[in-house]
Each structure stands twice: as C-alpha cells, then as structure tokens.
Amino acid sequence: MNVIDKIIMGLKSIYLSFLYTIYNLFLNKNRFEETNEVHVVVSLTCFPGRIKKVYLTLESIMAQQYNNFKVVLYLSHEEFPKGLEDLPRSLIRLHKRGVDINFTCENIRSYKKLHYALSDFPELPVITADDDVLYPSRWVNDFMESHKLFHDDILFVRGHQITFDRNGNVKKYISFGKPAGYSASSLYIPTGVSGILYPPGCFFQDVQNKDIFMKLAPNADDIWYKVMTLLNGRKSRLIYKKPIHYPPILGTQKISLRKQNLSKQHLNNDTQLLNLIDYYSIELADFKKKE
C-alpha cells in the first residue's frame, strides 16, 4: 500500500469511526428483533487492550445490508471477571441492541472467535471478524452470495498462497504469494483481518482440540484452521478480484498479534506452520501437484 492509499484509508477510518460513534450513542432499536431466521453467524473476540474501541467494529457489522444473521462477541472471564460490569457503556448499548456477549471460562486467545461458535452453531456457516477493522455494508452479503455458489469452500477476502523454493521446500511466510482473484486452492491460507467464512462441517476432527493447538500454534489460529480444513479436503476461495484490506480502527495497532507472529523467532508463523506440518505429516508439495 502506497502513501496515498494509506492516507485515504486513514481518512475513511476517521469518517467511519465518527459515524459509528453517532450510531452507538443514539440508536436504540434491536437490530435483530424482526429477524425470523438466522442463516449465518458473525463471530469475534476481543481483549482488554482493545475493548474500548471494539464497538466501532461491531457497529460496522450491525450496519450490514444482509439481515438473516446474528453477532456474537466471545470474551474471556479471566480478562473480564465481573462480566458485563467490566465492559464499557458502548458495548452494553450494543448488547441491548442485539449483540450476544458470551464469557468463556478459558482464555484461548484469538481462538475464542471461532472455537466456541463451532459448538454453539454447528449447523450454520460462521464468519470470523477481527476486532480492529471497519467492515463495509455488503461484507456479509458478499460472503453469503459466494457461499450459495461454493458451499463447500472456505471463503476469504485476504490471504496468502503457500509457495515453494526450487528444492520443493516451503518458503518463509513473509515470502508467500498472493491468491488469484475468484479462485480456489488448497494452498491458500485465509487471514482473518478482512473476514473468513467457514461452512459447517468443513474441519478435520481435531479442530477443537485445545491441547494440540495451544501447544503447536498458540498464536496462529488462521494457520491452525487452515490445516484443519486442508486435512478435511477443503479448498479456500478468494471471493473478489483481488485481496482487500478494509480500514483499520486508528489507535488499535499498538498491540498487534500479527507483529508478534512475524517477528518472534521462537514462535512465529513459520515455526507454528512447520509444527503443524510435522505433527500431521503433511506433504504440502503433494497438494501443489494436484492444483
């Protein structure tokens, strides 16, 4: 992203943040009181460092054109021991307008946004969202339109393509390629920042095995879920012509899991991906041959 694009993105973020703050202060109606059927769940999590601004992300989700969905925010009781009493008024207002807020006994970090939803909504597709992004109003609708056409695929907006060196070894994560528009591949790794739709039944049986993922990939939920869909024979599909990065919420990047994963040498994305490849004896080159 060049300097001009960054400036435009920043201006969009400022405008949308102002707009969604107004929504939060003055809207009172329950967003879902007239929803007869739920066809998809939007799920996300948050932590104390971002809890005061996550309402902006939630307001962008509440402003979707699509109607037959519900929103669930999963929080750790360890981080918010008093439950709703620990939350800012902005979230309480959203809770009254229809956002489900569930507190979990364990703190499994970023895994909270999907792990519990798989048990709570086993028959529904789940769209995961990040807590520091402002999503456009057609976001859920575009996912669901693609889901109608490709109901077995994992759908995403941003991601990477696993690439190999001349010896057939997996390259470093930072050197991975970009997915081709409107295409599906076993070698695409969806990244959660712009949203991922997981259809029901798309995962390998170990998907909720906390002992494995907290040991081998504690900071890489996107990679864990990629491996779980790969082992179940599912492909990932980019739903647009090119990957898209939506406006971030300004001031939320001070604590970034992405920076941690890319920089920590002992447990970065490369290490966690290799941990899973070794544990499950995966030959990624075999998937390349099948493409």
pLDDT tens track, the chain, 291 positions? 889 999 999 999 999 999 999 999 999 999 998 888 999 999 999 999 999 999 999 999 999 999 999 999 999 999 999 999 999 999 999 999 999 999 999 999 999 999 999 999 999 999 999 999 999 999 999 999 999 999 999 999 999 999 999 998 999 999 999 999 999 999 999 999 999 999 999 999 999 999 999 999 999 999 999 999 999 999 999 999 999 999 999 988 766 544 444 445 567 999 999 999 999 999 998 888 777
Confirm if 254 and 49 have CB atoms less than 8 A apart: yes
Q: How far apart are CA 241 and CA 159, in angstroms?
A: 13
153 CB burial (10 A radius; 0-12, 13-18, 19+): buried
d(Cα 240, Cα 139) in Å, to the nearest integer? 11
Q: Is the dihedral of CA 252, 258, 259, 264 positive or negative?
A: positive
Give the gyration radius of the chain's Cα atoms.
19
Separation between Cα atoms, residue 249 and residue 10, nearest integer Å: 9
Instruction: Round to whole Å and give the CA distance between 149 and 85.
Output: 43
pTM attached to this predicted model: 0.95
Closest-CA residue to 199 (of 130, 139, 114)? 114
Q: Which pLDDT belongs to residue 288? A: 80
Please tell me the predicted confidence (pLDDT) of residue 267.
78
Domains of the chain, first to last: 3-290 (3.90.550.10)
Q: Count other C-beta atoms under 10 Å from residue 1's C-beta.
A: 8
Alpha-carbon distances, residue 176 vs 72, 164, 206, 233, 238 (angstroms): 32, 8, 26, 21, 15
Specify the pLDDT at position 258. Answer: 47
Nearest residue to 128 via CA among 118, 21, 138: 118
- The C-alpha angle with vertex 264 and arms to 78 and 128, in degrees rounded to 5, equals 50
Identity of the amino acid at 249: I
CA 264 vs CA 30, 49, 60, 258, 267: distances in Å: 43, 20, 32, 10, 6
Q: How many CB atoms lie within 10 A of CB 47?
A: 18
3-state secondary structure 33-87: CCCCCCCEEEEEECCCCCCCCHHHHHHHHHCCCCCCEEEEEEEECCCCCCHHHHC
In this prediction, residue 99 carries a pLDDT of 98
